[in-house]
Amino acid sequence: MKSIFIKLLIAIPLIYLALFIGLWSSVSDTRPIISLLDMMRSDSATKIIDFSSDEEKSSKPKPKPNKDKNPYYGDLHVHTKHSFDAYIFGVTATPNDAYRYAKGEGIMHPMGYEMKLKEPLDFYSVTDHGFFMGMMNAWADTSTDISQNDFALPFHNLNKEENLTVESAGPRSALFSTILAGTIATTHGNFHPNTLKAWLTKNTQKALKSFDYDIHKSAWEDVARSANEHNDPGHFTTFIGYEFTTSTNVEGGNLHRNVIFNSSKAPIRPWTRIDSINPEDLWTWQDKLRDKGVDTVAIPHNPNGSNGQMFEMETFYSDPINKEYAEKRMRNEPIVEVTQVKGTSETHPLLSPDDEWADFEIMDVRVGSRPPTYSKPSGSYVREAYLNGLTLEFTKQGNPYKFGLIGSSDTHTGAGAFDESNYWSKVGILDGDPENRGSTPLAQENIERLDNYMRAFNQPRSTVTLDQGEYANTGFTQWGASGLAAVWAEENTRDSIFKAFKRKETFATTGTRIAVRFFGGYNLSSIDLNSEMLVSQAYQKGVTMGSDLVGDGDKTPEFIVWAQRDKNGAPLQRVQIIKGWIDASGRTHEKVYDVVCSDGLQVDPVTNRCPDNGAKVNINDCSITQNIGSSELKANWVDPDFDKENKSFYYARVLENPSCRWSTWDAISRGFKPREDLHDTIQERAWSSPIWYIPPASDVDVVPLGGTVRLINLST
């Protein structure tokens, strides 16, 4: 008995020592935190919690589900006070406030004015940053141990004298970038018990000095609880969600994703960039959760600010993409956020020089970069990604870029700004008034403030001298009042809407509530466009957005597109179909076709363009021409350049008549002229998810080898 006791006494320190040696061999060098995380597999975030039941909160009558589906509009990208940067932006809105806003109530902007929607939304998801979620409270609060660390000091003093003033914009922005750069992610050191604990519990976050697990979990619990409390099946849908905020290591290419959960169940904590900065690890985690019955979609956003790294031709670690990678990516990332406050990522004038509408709300810098650093277009826009997907498939690597489209806001005030005429941008007091977002000239004291701040933080000059004076030029002029996520679903419930995400029956808008239906098939011209049965027959005879249309002998695909205007927006100007394809030599092409014009105008068959409908905007008061444009546009369309051998994709783009951009509204309502170096007007728009045409099986298989293409005739 006694000897066992002694053996145990000896064994315990030995085991402890052995563990340390194991840990030492994993992380013995002094590489930065990112490398440490490479070695430490962090996968404790798979414990599932049911944050509440999905039971209905009332027995009020529900609208009957519509088998032909209804359009529902929402926002899947909303930050509140739990985000690490919300504190820096002066935001105190809770998830509860955010959901109240989505349902139509007014909530307060940090600068004291009310934010309210014209009409409520159908669904909403609060997606606070997963990493350091809830942690700011702890850093700012000097009664906690954690706040005594060096990294927390700037937070102690941030708002010491005045709370919500624009004067603090400088240090606030600097803090934001500091956190993004990860410099506060210092570890306890290899032999600290917390590092051992992190290693043993496979929760890397615990090795960080800046991390408090209890606070983190309670913030996540608040996010999940609020979502569940506001979910109202049949009337208003919420999703538990968070943002996986990662980027490439050296170039800072934006790889952010929002993760949306399908039920009231979610893991005990979000998987974050502290667990891994590699999105492929996020997908592994999603796969594990799916095995446990919790389904998720991850939605990449701001590919425009990724410096070409959101849609690369190789993996995160520069290996060739293969089918397994492509399938895993598509299983977990069926949709992409193509438009939001920080610009639109459909395409870029350099990538689509023949598309007259490509120069639209372009943001050309990397997300969160200081000083603002150019983001290269190639690899950063969805149309090119669709084309590159065809190329990868051509070389037998699978297609990882067969995603559908949504929009969302990325607001950090809990409340999305979707209306050009009532715009508050997204980062609280940093861009909450026209002077700071650069749409009206700066007052003298603000010019000095900006100059001083730029000097203090070693940043380039951020004002510009124009006709009407000196303007802030801090990048906010490239942001805009966008966008919305829209789905076609049978009813307004979590289940029905989530399934629409999965099958990519989604479309994106720039904040307007345009609706667009889009079908492809082989016998669609037999459907009467004026029949009440139009939609049900189109579903029966064809496929809709997000689907594959498989080749059928020599038949040419036919398409039906039907768009309806936003009753509070401008009338519709035209509907276009954008086609991309790959030819037999592996070259990709794209083409924009106008397919139906407003006011009964006819498409020119040579140029594929509608004539000018004559709608104008009066820049002095933002009024638009009355009685021009259509409330709905509908067409049957056959691809005039169809080749059945070419793998292709088709998506619809719906354009409104032009209207004033937010920067014009800002200027004229304060007695200024719009800034001469910005677009005065925009054309609000919607994009459907594509339909992919898959050629019929051929007896000729193309096998590219060593950079050349060799044709093998399988029949010999």
Partner 1 sequence: MYLVDTAMSADEDKNIFVSDQEILSLISAWKSQVGRDPTDDELARIINNLIDEEILYREALVLGLDQEDTIIKRRLAQKISFLKEESIPEIPTPKELNEYYENNKEKYYIESSYTFTHYYFSENDNSLDRSLQALKSIQENNKVNSDPFYLGKTFANEPLRNINTNFGTSFSKELMKANVNQWNGPLQSTYGHHLVYINSVNPGYIPEIEEVLRQVEVDFLQMKRDQAVKEFLNSIRSKYTIYINPDLKF
Q: What angle do CA 294, 300, 305 make, to 5 degrees?
A: 160
Binder to partner 1 among 433, 505, 590, 656 (CB under 8 A)? 433
- Shortest distance, position 544 Cβ to partner 1, whole Å: 15
Structure-token pair, residue 615: 């709608």
Question: What does the alpha-carbon distance between residue 177 and residue 714 come to, in Å, rounded to a whole number?
Answer: 56
CA separation, residue 545 to residues 212, 305, 507, 578 (Å): 44, 26, 8, 13
- Shortest distance, position 92 Cβ to partner 1, whole Å: 6
Restricting to residues 460-499, name those near partner 1 by CB under 8 A: none
Question: What does the alpha-carbon distance between residue 536 and residue 475 come to, in Å, rounded to a whole number?
Answer: 47
Contacts with partner 1, 263-302, as mask; x by CB under 8 A: ----------------------------------------
Q: What angle do CA 44, 48, 51 make, to 5 degrees?
A: 130
Question: What does the alpha-carbon distance between residue 11 and residue 703 come to, in Å, rounded to a whole number?
Answer: 60
Binding status of residue 531 toward partner 1 by CB under 8 A: yes
Q: Which stretch binds partner 1 (CB under 8 A): 137-145, 382-390, 583-591, 638-646?
A: 137-145
Q: Which stretch binds partner 1 (CB under 8 A): 41-49, 473-481, 630-638, 679-687?
A: 630-638
Q: Which residue matches tokens 């930065």?
A: 32
Helix or strand holding residue 339 (H, E): strand 335-340
Binder to partner 1 among 13, 160, 318, 605 (CB under 8 A)? 160
- Shortest distance, position 222 Cβ to partner 1, whole Å: 10
Binding status of residue 47 toward partner 1 by CB under 8 A: no
Contacts with partner 1, 344-383, as mask; x by CB under 8 A: ----------------------------------------
- Shortest distance, position 141 Cβ to partner 1, whole Å: 6
**Which residue type occupies 285?**
W
Binding status of residue 564 toward partner 1 by CB under 8 A: yes
Binder to partner 1 among 631, 638, 641, 643 (CB under 8 A)? 631
* # residues near partner 1 by CB under 8 A: 65
Binder to partner 1 among 251, 447, 632, 672 (CB under 8 A)? 632
Binder to partner 1 among 445, 532, 554, 621 (CB under 8 A)? 532
Distance of CA 221 to the CA centre of its chain: 23
First to last CA, the chain: 80
- Shortest distance, position 629 Cβ to partner 1, whole Å: 11
- Shortest distance, position 494 Cβ to partner 1, whole Å: 16
Binding status of residue 163 toward partner 1 by CB under 8 A: yes
Contact 484, 75 (CB under 8 A): yes
Contacts with partner 1, 186-225, as mask; x by CB under 8 A: ----------------------------------------
Structure-token pair, residue 374: 């150019």
Q: What are the E-state strand segments in 21-69? A: 48-50
- Shortest distance, position 156 Cβ to partner 1, whole Å: 4
**Which residue type occupies 398?**
G
Which of 301, 444, 481, 310 minimizes the C-alpha distance to 389?
A: 310
Nearer residue to partner 1 within complex by CB, 669 or 681: 669
Q: Which residue matches tokens 């820096």?
A: 88
Contacts with partner 1, 87-126, as mask; x by CB under 8 A: x--x-x---x-----------xx-xxx-----xx------
Binder to partner 1 among 60, 697, 715, 716 (CB under 8 A)? 60
47: exposed, middle or buried (C-beta count within 10 Å: 0-12, 13-18, 19+)? exposed
Structure-token pair, residue 484: 């919305």
Q: What angle do CA 302, 308, 312 make, to 5 degrees?
A: 105
Question: What does the alpha-carbon distance between residue 469 and residue 221 come to, in Å, rounded to a whole number?
Answer: 48
- Shortest distance, position 671 Cβ to partner 1, whole Å: 9
Question: What does the alpha-carbon distance between residue 73 and residue 485 come to, in Å, rounded to a whole number?
Answer: 6
Contact 538, 636 (CB under 8 A): no
DSSP one-letter code for 156: H
Nearer residue to partner 1 within complex by CB, 416 or 432: 432
Q: Which stretch binds partner 1 (CB under 8 A): 159-167, 337-345, 466-474, 696-704?
A: 159-167
- Shortest distance, position 219 Cβ to partner 1, whole Å: 11
Strand, coil or helix: what is 44? Answer: coil
Restricting to residues 571-590, name those near partner 1 by CB under 8 A: none
Pairing of strands 515-521, 648-656: unpaired
Binding status of residue 449 toward partner 1 by CB under 8 A: no
Nearer residue to partner 1 within complex by CB, 166 or 321: 166
Binder to partner 1 among 49, 140, 466, 702 (CB under 8 A)? 140
DSSP one-letter code for 429: G
Which value, to the nearest 10 degrees, does the dihedral of the CA atoms of residues 665, 667, 672, 675 take? Answer: -110
Binder to partner 1 among 107, 146, 297, 535 (CB under 8 A)? 535
Q: Which stretch binds partner 1 (CB under 8 A): 134-142, 340-348, 355-363, 694-702?
A: 134-142
Binding status of residue 420 toward partner 1 by CB under 8 A: no
Contact 545, 571 (CB under 8 A): no
Buried b (16+ CB within 10 A) or exposed e, 431-454: bbbbbbbbbbbbeeebbebbeebb
Q: Which residues of this chain interact with partner 1, rule CB under 8 A?
A: 55-64, 66, 68, 70-71, 87, 90, 92, 96, 108-109, 111-113, 119-120, 137, 140-143, 155-160, 162-166, 229, 235, 424, 432-435, 515, 529-535, 562, 564, 567, 600, 630-632, 669-670
